[in-house]
Amino acid sequence: MSRVVLGVTGGIAAYKACELLRRLTEAGHEVTVVPTESALRFVGTPTWEALSGRAVPTDVFTDVPSVTHVRLGQQADLIMVAPATADVLARAAQGLAPDLLGNVLLTARCPVVFAPAMHTEMWQHPATVANVAVLRERGAMVIDPAVGRLTGVDTGPGRLPDPAELFDTAQAVLDGGVPVRDLEGRTVVVSAGGTREFLDPVRYLGNRSSGKQGYAVAAAAAARGATVTLISANSTVPVPAGVEVVTVVDAAEMRSQVLARSDVDAVVMAAAVADYRPVEVAETKLKKESGSLTEIRVIENSDILADLVAARGDADTPVVVGFAAETGDETTDYLEYGRRKLARKGCDLLVVNEVGDGLAFEVDRNAATVIGRDGYELDIPMVSKRRLADSVWDAVLASGALK
């Protein structure tokens, strides 16, 4: 069990922190909520106490004998401020402590994560940009806000990321610390989800991919400073903050979008792309009585991974990383099938995971082996998909493929 301090500041997005708190407590973490005075105008103390099961300190004079304003920061395993207003970012960057949360941030000896939420103009103001840079230089993690509807009719960057994503980020930091921004200045494309090849307006050929692993790869890259484009096929996973998303449906669309955006440093093909599509797509629903569903003629889809490798020719970029969901059989184990696939595809690295009942698809944890065409190999044990995603980027950097 980890001790988490959840700082909540005075923005309308404070209500979303209730869901984040619920997820943290249900995961077994001991969470102390530290709201600012302004935050309590949006969500009251009884709500925080009911959801956390703990008393909620609100000022530096709470429980003076225990020196709460110092102990909370000293003893925490993680401090996450969500939402973090422009004001609290400015105060944290300047080391000001006018309230309890400011004192907790100054006494922290653990990872600190800020999840900003504010209007676009405030997020893009030079003062906020400078404050974020200062906090990152000092080792804090400042998540880029999501793009979407703000208060009123305004839209743009500044929206608090989805609580599920914030929870994943918190868990990833508890597991591995604040990520180093070692992909700063890099541009990457990640594919995710499972393509659908339609038979008629109702039915399609598809697969079990939820998109969770690909989304985790994109989120991890963004957290490490990369500019990320996520090409997503049929997924309901929350969009990672700071990531551009392009939605597609079938393999042809996936291929077109990936190749059109391949002038980047790295492409990670985590999507489960259908190998085949129907020769004909009916304009109306195929009737069971007609027997037309018993014999479906299919044609092979293009191999996007091989096409990426062919398109770059002798160039060093982009680094091409594939994913292979494999099963073994009586004669060959799944990893050997992965090695054969790597040889056929010609990509730089291949992430091979065994699939089956409760493995890889539609779950929150995964295990894999990363293999390289130069003999590089990294075994990743069963971990969260976000942790595995970071291991994949570690492998990309360690392999030397990213020049």
Residues marked active site are found at 207
How far is 75 from 71, CA to CA, in rounded Å?
6
DSSP state of 189: E
Examine residue 111 and say whether the peptide bond preceding it is cis (omega within 30 degrees of 0).
Answer: no
Nearest to 312 by CA among 378, 389, 394, 403: 403
> Which three-class secondary structure state does DSSP give residue 165?
helix
Strands 204-205 and 266-269: unpaired
* Pick from 355, 337, 353: nearest CA to 345: 337
- Give the H or E element holding residue 106: helix 100-107
d(CA 168, CA 23): 10
Half-sphere exposure of 152 (CA within 13 A, CB side): 5
Neighbouring residues of 357: CB distance < 8 A, sequence distance ≥ 6: none
List the structure tokens of 310: 């062919």
